Chains A and B, each alone.
Chain A
Amino acid sequence: MIKLIEKIEGEAKLNFSFKDNKIDDVSVDFMSTRHVEDILKGKTPLDALVINPRVCGICGHAHLIATVRALEACYEDIQISNKAKIIRELTLTFELIQNHFKWFYLTIFPFFGVKQEIAKALYPTQLMGKAIAVFGGQYPHTSYAIVGGVVCEVTNMDIIKVQRYIDETTDFFEKNVLSIQNSDLKTLNTLNDLSHVKGDLRDILKKIEQNDWQNLGKSYDRFIAFGESSYFKKGKSIKTRVTQNLAIDDVKETDSTTSFAKSVHYHDQYYEVGPLARAMIGKNPLIKDAHRRYGDSIFTRILARVYEIPQLLEHTKILIESLDLSEPSYIKPEVDISQLNAVGISAVEAARGTLIHKVEIEDLKIKSYEIITPTQWNLCGGHEQNLGVSQKAMIGLDNVKLAEMVFKTFDVCSVCTTH
């Protein structure tokens, strides 16, 4: 049975086969691409800063940050001010936060007998968009992070304005999503601690339990994250055993015969990326407790993603306080990037997980460009002997609607997956 999955920044086709009334196999096909990697070939390196945000309308900022870091990785030595680094992390974090809100209220809600909450999705989304725009001029599709720093100068008043957006978003989260205070983040360590908490997330988790869905959607229980920041750690977690040693060169893509999306693996194995992966690698006590109880199920996955919001908001407050406005925003590189013949790789944590960019510059131009998106990790199809992460999570379910829900807990983004 073929099911067209819609409203995922495009579409995907799931082709199910059933045995004894349970899903026994499912193929995941993405049906169109835009050849962004080819479009980049032959362009001036800096033009990638304009083209790449247009890989994706919902996480384009992560593509910008991945691009600028890949370009900067082409230098043996390049000076970036701490201020520029912090501002980039801030705007990337704002994008993560708004993605999480949109996914929760627009994508996840309808599976639980409730309508999309458009106002609740968009109010914090717009605040985070404003916060990015203060630095980047606009959201979506700014290219404000350039090789050497950021184009904007920031004033005290800008900071005050952005702090109000953060506070308002925090307030919104506490009033609507989870009735906790920032100070609770350290004391919320178990699911029991969550029991007195109210809010939309609590309601969804309750519905998962009432429907007896808390063990649905389990996959390999293998997680990976390559993007390091002042908040996220790089590492992998296999059944709670976390190791930090990763070699980005061992991430490989494989073409598919039926889908425009290439599958991604590390040492020939598929890994889940995203907020749940980050929480497992970062050993977040609350998420680890949910994982202890329900494994890598939709319960844990949804909780991990929404619970990342207050932590990220808290972190942006710390980041802003650490800004030294007297530092330069931009330090002109001594050598222009087009003069280099080099390869640069970057990894950033986007809303849905690890995003990798790899650029090769030769004779003043981009010779090749490779983009590996989070949704490729999570959603791409493998084959019978080695199923993809989302495929494995859907097998054994008894109906297509549940499979669609499980599929969407990974948060599908078709445009990113095929780019």
Chain B
Amino acid sequence: MKKTRVLWLTLMSCNGNTHSFLNYPYIEQFLNDFEFIYHPIIDSDYTLEEIISQDIACDILLIEGSVADDFIKAGVPGIDIIKRYAKIVEKIVTVGTCATFGGIFRESNYKDVSGLHFQEERRTDKYNDLFEKTVSISGCPVHPEVLVSTLYAIKKGLSLKLDAYLRPKEYFSYTIHNGCTRNEYFEYKVDNHHFGELEGCMFYDHGCRGPFTHGSCNKILWNEVNSKTRAGLPCMGCTEPSFPKRNIFETKKNMGIPEFLPVGVSKRTYLTLAGITKAFTIDRLEKKLFDD
């Protein structure tokens, strides 16, 4: 079968998505089915200068990094390269949170930094003609399996079910909370989490955004072995439009109730649930997991 031709274009970025992609365990298989006309690290048939100055045949444009009109890439506005290839390709994929929502660098000193179609939650309407062509894969960085499998789905011509931010539902309908090994501490509201322990849930005090952040981190895991929340690091909501929030290691509360609640749970329901869970003490969850 003909290889799908892909252009990996990096704009205002740390290249973290590039390196996260290199953690995909079966890259050689991937490269049997796809070829990069340009990639920030992997050798390609064309130089960046050729990519910029010519129209090279291409099927999918991957954009990594935030977009700004005044951001210059190798001597030309980055946005001009997007426009050139957007006409050529079948699909555009925004790779990572910067390219999708603006991400961490929307606070840089460029003008009006955003993702391709969104500035945080807001539709920018700048590239509306490209909206239909675009799939977003947010995450800071992108998860390699989510990226690769989505590219295969595009290659196969599958019609992907996408959410309002154009993210594949198959990955972004879950919350980070799903599959976290600390779930029981959340469910039964055992709220005395301390860093450095296997036990406890970071939602109540330490800013964990897992219950209201969309993604599959705890379903497919990172580097095939772990996740931030399993390790004891709060989810920072890195797949969402608002990333990065401020005071990341703190849970903001009003009258003792966390400002952000699990997706679909109202304050009233939360209070009822909290009241019920407070009524019972689960000895196993109060103790160390591996107590003698």
Contact = CB atoms under 8 A, between A and B. Distances in A.
Interface of A: 4, 6-7, 9-11, 31-36, 38-39, 43-44, 46-47, 49-51, 54-58, 60, 84, 102, 106, 110, 115-116, 118-119, 121-122, 125-126, 129-130, 132-144, 146, 148-153, 155, 161, 328-330, 332, 415
A149 B232 CA distance: 12
A355 B230 CA distance: 29
A7 B40 contact: yes
Contacts of B269: none
Contacts of A152: 196, 231-233
Minimum-distance CB pairs A-B, first 4:
A330-B196, A329-B196, A137-B231, A57-B16
Interface stretch (B101-109, B145-153, B156-164, B254-262): B101-109
26 contacts: A7-B40, A10-B15, A31-B74, A32-B72, A57-B13, A57-B20, A102-B22, A116-B42, A118-B28, A119-B28, A121-B22, A126-B25, A137-B222, A137-B232, A138-B227, A139-B223, A140-B16, A143-B236, A149-B195, A151-B195, A151-B196, A152-B233, A153-B196, A153-B197, A155-B290, A332-B194
Nearest to A165: B225
B141 A140 contact: yes
Nearest to B19: A57
B48 A6 contact: yes
A84 B12 CA distance: 34
Interface of B: 10, 12-20, 22-23, 25, 27-28, 31, 40-43, 47-49, 71-75, 104-105, 107-109, 140-141, 194-198, 217, 222-233, 236, 238, 244, 246-250, 290
Contacts of A7: 40-41, 43
B17 A118 contact: no
Contact of B248 (A47, A119, A133): A47
Contacts of A125: 22-23
Given A6-B48, A11-B48, A122-B22, A144 B231 contact: yes
A149 B72 CA distance: 40
B43 A115 contact: yes
A95 to B, nearest CB: 11
A151 B233 contact: yes
Given A9-B40, A57-B141, A141 B22 contact: no
Nearest to A38: B109
Contacts of B42: 106, 116, 118
Chain B contact residues: helix, strand, loop or mixed? loop
Nearest to B217: A138
B256 to A, nearest CB: 20
A149 to B, nearest CB: 6
A44 B247 CA distance: 6
Contacts of B41: 7, 102, 106
Contacts of A330: 194-197
Given A38-B108, A138-B223, A126 B196 contact: no
Contact of A142 (B105, B108, B194, B233): B233
A57 B17 contact: yes
Contacts of B28: 118-119
Nearest to A47: B248
B18 A57 contact: yes
Contacts of B236: 50, 143
